[in-house]
Each structure stands twice: as structure tokens, then as C-alpha cells.
Amino acid sequence: MNLGKLVFKLSITTSLTIAVLGLAVSETKADRLAEVKKAGILHCGVVPGVPGYAFPNKEGKMVGFDVDLCKSIAAAVLGDANKIKTTKMKLPVAFNAMKAGTVDVVTHRFTWTFGRDVGQGLDFTRVMVFDGQGFMVRKKLGVTSGKQLDGATFCLTTGATTESNVSDFFRTHNMKFKQVTFGSMGEAQKAYDQGRCDVFVTDKFGLGARRLAMTNPKEHVILPETISNEPISPMVPHGDQVWRDIVVWTLNALIAAEEYGITQSNVDQMSNSSKNPFVQRLLGKTGKFGGKIGLGNQWAYRAIKAVGNYGEIWERNLGKDGLGMARGKNELYTKGGLLIAPPFR
Amino acid sequence: MESLFSYWRKGSVRSLTYQWGLVVAILLALFWLFDTANTNLDRLGINTGFDFLDDEAGFQISQALFPYSAQSTYIDALLVTFTNTIVLSLIAICLATFLGFFIALSRLSDNMLLRKFGDCYVEVFRNVPLLLQLFFWYFAALKLLPAKRESINFFDIAFLNIEGFVIPAPILEDGATSIVWAIVIALALAIGVWRWAKRRQTRTGVPFPSFLVGLAIVIFIPLLVAWIKGFPISWEIPKFGRFNFEGGVGLQPEFTAMLFGLTLYNGAFIGEIIRAGILSVHKGQREAANSIGFTQMQIYSQIIVPQAMRLIIPPLTNQYLNLTKSTALAAALGYPDFFWALSGAIAAQTGQVLELQAITLFGYLGISLFIAAIMAIYNRATRIPER
């Protein structure tokens, strides 16, 4: 092959790249609310197959925490929680989808970080789960703390904050480690289960679910250390403030509902009889809050009616009816947790 | 006007106008796409550019052929993983070619058992998706390998367990470079002997065992130099630490499984390509060679293979390129290849997906064009001269 041919091939490929890049960043929708209403369906990005967050149930329908958040927004905007289309997304895909504007909201459990929020064409909305990463090891190693892991091998997945967290933790404590990084959680978990690695790392809430999936769950322990702070928040495309307000305040409504004691089953009764002015405004009895974000006064009522309040969503998917995890930091601020909804006034 | 019209009627002028018109239209279209992309990126407030490559990577890589740590930059990470992709591709290409050759010979063999084995092999390995095969080999390997504390011990210097095969690492001391030079010189000498023998055989017909002589040169000259220098190499023997062996060089199961899977899968395709090439040589030639007393080995090496090559090379090049690109599946098995770095960790940390996609594209393009160029040179060197 001579030089001329090489240059020719390179230039052809360059042109194609530019063309593809151009198409990837197509015109994003200026008025997303109108677009969603017109399409009559809400497009959500969710985590690919993690029990408790987004997983097909026996009937093959997607259920989980991610999915319920998506449903609440669909109920608020479209009046029907079933008018959703969930797409499983890994991180690079989710970023691209946000840039291209092909999804309306990503409820996938992504950690809110500076690098992801700024200059990426997307906005985080509000923290829905406070998590942190931790280690799981085999009991027979006799390890009781992460600080005893000098020289250990880690199984983890790429495309998350995990890699840098582990590396920072070990640098802080001046220890060495080896890592095997897999493309997806399933393989990382399987390799750890077969003994390829000494330690398995991921978000602690995920770790609980993963331990149950091991060949013999009793052989493994989760170490006490939490090596990172992982505030997990849904994301929306950058640039449409109206749409961002809708998502943020629908999520706020779910948390406020728990605080005021509004549940899926008593929402009608509360709406008719509650004397609490916050409840009256939230459920659209008084005030014009719904109109101000372009959804009609019963938007929050519809969201709560569809999926219940935050506590109910938690228990159904992650709590006692789901993965069996304790609320911990994810309690309301009134019960010593970190969850707080700005007031509806 | 009349003259302009007659000018237009000239075929060459007309076709040139069309061709350049098309070029200009394509360039305009590209410019428009590029401009749209830029405007939209600006409007969305997305950072663009390659400045992030100088930042600290902050993640480890399980197989690095040159020094790399979490404090290295993204560029270092890209170089390390790029080398990993090249190493995996080249070794797999060599092994798959050898395997393919034997598969081809067994499918053409007169022995029915061997022939049926070849048939089965090809049908099984080329019809099962590669990713499935890779997972199979990886998790089969993990199942078979002993646990860390039950390693198989080879004379207290090499150990095999689920983290792989560790052997002592050579540590070069003063004077070790002279051995490297000795190897280079010995290789050059061996090539010289081979060329001389070939020329002499063409001229006089007298054969010379150039392979054996060359092998002896390559083995003994470096050994001799090492002996004179007093063997300036020491060995770092792996020792069991708290969790696993430390020190030494290891061959990890991820790499081994990738190599195994790629070799077996591509071996089936290459076998078919080589078989087609061999069948393209008219059987009369084989009979003629037989009749003048050539051995089977000579028939293949002197008569059939040189002629088959010109048919084998083009599809073989395709297969090599396929193999190289399919190394990108390594991300699934945790082998840190080029695609692993680009699609995973770096994209997740920096979010510069468009830039990373461009780097991926040019990285693989570079490797592919390199392989294609080598094959083209080889093709030119082996083609039958036409007059």
C-alpha cells in the first residue's frame, strides 16, 4: 500500500467520523414537555438488569426503584403511569443518549459528581438514594477491615466511580492492590464467586443484593468501611429548565408525601379531608402549583396515586418487600436521615 | 457560445466537471454536519477537545507491559491498553494461522478419522458466537484452576492458580544489554545463512540445512556471550504474600482465555481459507512432483503452498483484520485492551464520549491499516511473476 492510498483511506475515515459525530449530536428538543405530551410516552433510561432497581418480573414487565421513579413522572406529566418506555443503559450510552436527547430522563442509579454534571450536556436533579461503596470478602480470609487488604485482588466493573474510589482508598492508606475490571456486573460477580478475586466492590446497597446471588451467601461478609459517598440522582438533558423543574418537583413530591403521611391508598381521602395547607397545595386542592409547571393542579396527586410515596417505593423495591435493605441515611430528616423535600409553598 | 458548447461536448471535460462537482458537494455536506455538531455542542455547554488526556487516570490496569500506575495520565492508560490489544492480536494471529494450517491439512487428509475431526472442528467453532466461546473458556478455566492457597507448585519457582501462571521475573544486571545485542546479531547471521543457502541452491541445486544451522546460531551465540559475561541476569522468584503470589511475571487467566478463544475460533475460518487455497492447485502438479520423487513435505513446501499463497493472502488478510477487531470483546472478560479503556473507565470519568469514540476509531484503523500493509507487502513478494 503506498502513501497516497493511505492518505486517501485516512481522509475518507475522517470524513465519516465527522459525519457520524454530527448526527450523534442532533438538534435537541427545545420544549420537552410539549414533545412528551405530543408523543404520549415518557422515555426513561434505567440500569441494565439489577434486582430492586430495574429488573423484569415474572410477567416480563420491568419493575424496580428506577422504574417507579419513571412511572411517577409519567403519571404527573401524562396522567398514566404505564405510558413509559424504559431503555437499559450503561454509562457511556446514557451520556450519549442525553446529548442526543433521545431519552427524557435517566433514572438509572448514577452518582452525582462534578465531572458528570458540568460540561456534559446533562443536569442532575435531586438525590434519591444516598449510597457509598464497600467491600465484600470471603469469611475464611479472616479480614475484618478494609485496611487489612494490602496486596489483595479486586473484581470490579468499569464505567462507574468504583475504580477511582478503590484506587484513592488504597493510596490514602499507602497500600497496594491488583484489580480485574469487567465490562459488566454479572461477569465481575461470577469471577469473584469462582475465587478469581479476594474482594468484590460496588455500592453497598448493590453489595447486599449481590451477596444473595453468590453460590453460598454465608461464605461472604461485607466489611464495615464505606469508602465513598455516592449520592444517586436521576438526570435530565441540559438546557430545558421547565422540564428540569417538572422532574425535580415530582421527585420532591414523593418525599413530601411521605413526610405528610400521604400514601397510595389514602391519597384520595387526604385530598378531600386534610386540613394541612401543605397537603392541600401538594395535592392541588388549593393554590395553582400544577399550572405553574404546566401540568395541571393534580400532577402530584397522580404521581402518588400511581406509585405511592418515597417510603412505599423504597419498601416495595429495596426494603422489606424487595432486597430487604434498611433505610439508613435514606430516612426522612424527621427520622434522622438525609432526605428532605423543599417546602411546597 | 458555440465554442463553449463544443468544449462541453468533450467527454473528458464533462466527466471532470461531474467528478469535481460531486467532491465539492460532499465537502459542503461534511462541513454542514461538522458545523451542526459544533453549534449543538456549544449550545448544550459540552466541553470538547482532547485536553483531558493529560489528566491523572486514577485507575489501575491489570496487565501493563511498561510502568503504569493509578497516578499515570489517560494517555499512558491508552498506550498501555493499545499495546495490550496489539500483543493479544499478534499472538492470536500467529497461533490461529498455525492451527488453521493443521485444520486444513487434516480436512484434506486421506485418513478418515482425521478428516472427520477437521470437519467437526470447523463446524463447531465457526458456528458458535465468539463471545459465548470466550465466556466458556474463561469460566471453564476459572473452574479448573486451583484456589490461591492450593496452587500447583513447579519446583518452588513457578506456580499455577486461579490468578494465573507466575514464573520468576528476569532482572537485568550490568552487561545484560550485550546479550540483547548478541541475539540481534545472531538473528541477522541466521538470515544471512538462509539467503546464502537459497542462492546457492538455485545456482547449483545443492541443498543446505539452513533451518537447523540458523537455530543453532540463534541459540548458541547469545548463550556464549552470557557465559563470557558471567550470566548477568538474576531471577525474582514469586513468593506467597497475604493474599497471593507477589513478584515474578504472571500470565493471567483473562489473557489466556482471550488467546484461547480467539485462536480456536479464527483457526476454523483460516483453516477453510487455506484449504481453499490448497485445492486451487491442480492435482496434476502433485502427481508430477510425486513422480519425480518429492516427499510429502517437499510437495507442500515447494510446490503447493507457494502457489496457494496468492489465493490465500487476500481472504487471510480479512480474517486477520476480523480477529484484531474482535479483540474488543476482551472488555467483557476483564482483559484491559484498548476498547476496555475507551469504552469503560475513561468514558465514565471524563464523559468525553465523542472524543473517545474518535480515538477508538483511529486506534483500530491504525492497527488494521498496519496489518493490511504488511500483508500487501507479503502478497507482492510472493505473487507469481507475470509476463
Q: What is the mean pLDDT of residues B82-105?
A: 93
DSSP A50-107: BTTTBEE-TTS-EESHHHHHHHHHHHHHHS-TT-EEEEE--HHHHHHHHHHT--SEE-
CB interface of B with A, residues 347-386, below 8 Å: 347-351, 353-354, 357-358, 361-362, 365, 369, 372-373, 376
DSSP H/E element including B312: helix B305-326
Inter-chain residue contact B162 with A196, CB threshold 8 Å: yes
Higher-confidence residue of A147 and B172: namely A147
**Minimal CA–CA distance to B347: which of A257, A325, A183?**
A183
Place of cell 546457492: B200
Sequence-ordered strand ranges (E) for chain A? 42-46, 55-56, 62-63, 84-88, 105-106, 122-124, 129-131, 133-138, 153-157, 178-182, 199-203, 220-222, 230-232, 235-237
Least CB–CB distance from A194: residue in B135, B142, B358: B142
Higher pLDDT, A250 or B62: A250
Q: Is residue A1's pLDDT more than 60? A: no
Cβ–Cβ gap B162/A188 under 8 Å: no
B44 pLDDT above the threshold of 80: no
For residue A217, how many C-alpha atoms fall within 13 Å in the half-sphere facing its CB? 7
Q: Is A26 on the interface with B (CB under 8 A)?
A: yes
| pLDDT of amino acid A12 | 62
Testing the interface with A: which of B38, B160, B353 to mutate, by most A Cβ within 10 A?
B353
Tell me the CA distances in angstroms from B75 to A74, A189, B44, B53, B328, one per residue in order: 43, 29, 27, 5, 19
- In angstroms, what separates the C-alpha of A112 from chain B's closest C-alpha? 12
Higher pLDDT pick, B351 / A282: A282
How far A128 CA sits from the closest chain B CA (Å)? 21
- Alpha carbon distance B324, B321 (integer Å): 5
- pLDDT the model gives residue B387: 56
State the sign of the Cα–Cα–Cα–Cα dihedral A220, A225, A228, A229: positive
Chain A contact for B334 (CB, 8 A cutoff): yes
CB atoms A13 and B143 under 8 Å: no
Beta bridge partners of B158: B154
Closest CA to B157 of B63, B239, B92, B78: B239
Take residue A258 and report the three cell numbers written for it: 411521605
What pLDDT score does A16 carry?
A: 59
**A102 interfaces chain B, CB cutoff of 8 Å:** no
**Packing angle of the helix pair B130-144, A185-193 (nearest 10 deg):** 20
Residue A119 has pLDDT above 80, yes or no: no
Q: DSSP 3-state assignment of A155? A: strand
How far does the CA of residue B269 sit from the closest CA of chain A (Å)? 25
- Kindly report the length of chain B: 387
Q: Dihedral sign, CA of B88, A183, B360, A115?
A: negative
Position A320 pLDDT exceeds 50:
yes
pLDDT at site A95:
79
Pairing of strands A105-106, A199-203: unpaired
Would you say the ipTM is above 0.90? no
Identify the three-state secondary structure at position B56.
strand
Q: How far is CA A222 from CA A144, A151, A219, in A?
A: 9, 18, 11
What does the mean pLDDT of chain A come to? Answer: 85
The minimal CB distance from B40 to the residues A27, A96, A195 is found for: A27
| Record: contact B361-A13, CB cut-off 8 A | yes
When pLDDT is cut at 50, 70 and 90, the band that residue A13 belongs to is: low
- Give how far A147 is from chain B: nearest CA, Å: 13
By CB atoms closer than 10 A (0-12, 13-18, 19+), residue B144 is exposed
d(CA A174, CA A107): 36
Whether residue A200 has pLDDT greater than 80: yes
**Is any Cβ of chain B less than 8 angstroms from the Cβ of A6?**
yes
Q: How many A×B Cβ pairs under 8 Å?
A: 182
Is B36 an 8 Å CB contact of chain A? yes
The chain B residue lying nearest A115, using CA atoms, is B350
Q: What is the full DSSP assignment across A257-276?
A: HHHHT--TTTHHHHHHH---
With CB atoms and an 8 Å threshold, state whether B345 touches A194.
no
Q: How far is B308 from chain A (nearest CA, A)?
A: 22
A24 CB near a chain B CB, below 8 Å?
A: yes
Which residues in chain A touch residue B354, judged by CB atoms under 8 angstroms apart? 21, 24-25
A197 to chain B: nearest residue by CA?
A: B163
8 Å CB contact of B349 and A178: no
CB A245 within 8 A of CB A286: no
* A164–B244 C-beta distance less than 8 A: no
Closest by alpha carbon to B302, among B185, B188, B207? B207
* Residue ranges per structural domain of chain A: 32-130+232-324, 133-228
| Closest Cα in chain B to A122 | B44
CATH fold label, A133-228:
D-Maltodextrin-Binding Protein; domain 2 (3.40.190)
- What would the pLDDT profile of B227-237 be if each residue is shown by its tens digit? 887 777 777 77
Name the pLDDT band for B350 (thresholds 50, 70, 90): confident
Pairing of strands A84-88, A42-46: parallel
Comparing A45-49, B71-75, B154-158, which segment has the lowest mean pLDDT?
Answer: B154-158
**Measured between CB atoms, does B45 come within 8 Å of chain A?**
yes
pLDDT band at B218, cuts 50/70/90? Answer: confident
Task: Report how far residue B357's alpha carbon sits from residue A23's, in angstroms, rounded to the nearest whole number.
Answer: 14
Nearest CA in chain B to A239: B44
Cβ atoms of residues A62 and A46 within 8 Å: yes
Tell me the residues of chain A between 59 and 88 that have a Cβ less than 8 Å away from chain B. Answer: none
Would an 8 Å CB–CB cutoff place A12 in contact with chain B?
Answer: no
Is the dihedral angle over the CA atoms A198, A203, A208, A212 positive or is it negative?
negative
- CB-nearest to A238 from B45, B357, B376 is B45
Which residues in chain B are contacts of A102 at CB distance < 8 A?
Answer: none
Fill in the DSSP letter of residue A27: P
Mark yes or no for CB contact B45/A23 under 8 Å. Answer: no
What is the reported pLDDT for B99?
95
Pairing verdict, β A153-157 and A199-203? parallel
B32 contact residues in A (CB cutoff 8 A): 22
B146 touches chain A (CB under 8 A): no
A15 and B242 in contact by Cβ < 8 A?
no
Whether A182 has its CB under 8 Å from any CB of chain B: the answer is yes
Residue A159 is nearest to which of B58, B142, B347, comparing CB atoms? B347
Interface of B with A in 224-283 (CB under 8 A): 241-244, 246, 252-254
pLDDT of B172 > 80? The answer is no
Query: Model confidence at A293, in pLDDT bands (50, 70, 90)?
Result: confident
Write the residue in A164, A196, A238 that is nearest to B44 by C-beta.
A238
Pick the CATH number of A32-130+232-324 from 3.40.190.10, 3.90.76.10, 3.40.190.80, 3.90.930.12: 3.40.190.10
On whether the CB atoms of residues B163 and B245 are closer than 8 A, the answer is yes
Which residue has cell 423495591?
Answer: A317
Look at A28 and B44 and tell me if their CB atoms are within 8 Å.
Answer: yes
Give per-residue pLDDT as tens, B139-163.
Answer: 888 888 887 777 777 877 778 888 7
Q: Is A142 on the interface with B (CB under 8 A)?
A: no
CB-based contact A164 B336, cutoff 8 Å: no
Position A26 pLDDT exceeds 60 = no
